[in-house]
Structures are given as structure tokens and as C-alpha cells.
Structure 1
Amino acid sequence: MSITLLYWILIALMLVGVVGAVVPGLPALPVGGPLLGILIGPLLGAFIGEFLSRRQLELELRLNAAFKASLGIVVGSLVGNLIQGALALATVIVFVFTTFPPGVAG
């Protein structure tokens, strides 16, 4: 087998992997997709967990405590994801500038 054929096989396998990763998520996009689930799952879990654990309180106080807990989870998740995205972007920028110093392309 020649090297050129191996490269084409490798490219075809990469394309199949990308299609296999993207296509199953397409039907969920009109309703928010996985991003919506990432936010709603912890929100409902924290609300229900806090609501059930505070059985000694009155209903209004239980709802207030559960809302605060679920709001804290959502804010913490969003801030954490933003920080993670910023660190990933910084990593890519550092990689590009250290791998391809200025003047190499010209």
C-alpha cells in the first residue's frame, strides 16, 4: 500500500468520525440540544434535592431555599464553563504563537 493511499484512508476515517459525532445531535438542535440539558439537569436536580431535604421548613421557605440552590448551581456552571472556554482559547493561542513564530510564514 502506498503512503498516498494511507493518507486518503486516514482522511476518510476522520470525516466519518466527524459526521458520526455531529449527525446524532442535529435533531435536538431545534429544542436547544444538549446545551439546554446541561443547564436544566443541574437546575432541576438542585431544586428537587434541596426542596426534599428541607422538609422541616414551611413551603415558602423550602421553595426559597431550593430556588437559591438551583440559581447557585446555574451561575456556577455558567461561570465555570466561561472560565474553561477562556483557558482553552488561551491554550490554543499560546500553542499557535510558540509553534509558528512570526516571520516563519513570510
Structure 2
Amino acid sequence: MSGTEAHKRLQPKMGRGSWRFGMWAYGLQASISAFLAGSRLMAGLNDGWNVVGFCIYVVWFLLSAGQVIYLMRVRRNDAPFWDADETRRADFDRRGRRL
């Protein structure tokens, strides 16, 4: 059994491109929610404190950060499978061009 077959993929339907899109989307969400939570915190110090709005932004940030961490784990676990798929496609293209 080779090294890539020793463990299962975390996300069998996710490729390198969909991983990049997910990382970009959830990274953007995490940064926006962190900015909004920080601005709500600073506005709360100057004006009245809105606890519900702040908590919503913090929960949104935690969910987005958790998804980014999960996607980093998926990348670490599934990268050998993605490399094997790319190698298989390149070999297929190379053999197809010789015909």
C-alpha cells in the first residue's frame, strides 16, 4: 500500500482549485468579521454598548476562523492525493499527444 493510499481523504470531492476558493472566501469572511467586531468594540467604548451586535460578529469570526483551520488541515491531508491526480492527468496528456 503506497503512502497516498494509507489514509483516506478528508474531502474526496475537493480539488486544489476548490480549496483555493474556499480558503479565499473564508479568509475574507474572517478578516471582515474581525474588522466589524473590532469596530463594534471601539464604538461601544465611545457610545452605548451593543452586546448583541458584538457577539454576532465574534461568533461569525470564530466560525470563519474554524473553517480556515479545517481547510488548512484538509490541505495538509489531501495534498498527496491532489499531486497524484495532477501527475496522472499530465501523464495522460503526454501519452495522448504522442498518438
- Verify same fold: TM over 0.5: no
* TM-score, scaled relative to structure 2: 0.36
Tell which structure's C-alpha radius of gyration is larger: 1
TM-score calculated relative to the size of structure 1: 0.34
Q: As a proportion of its length, which structure holds more helix?
A: 1
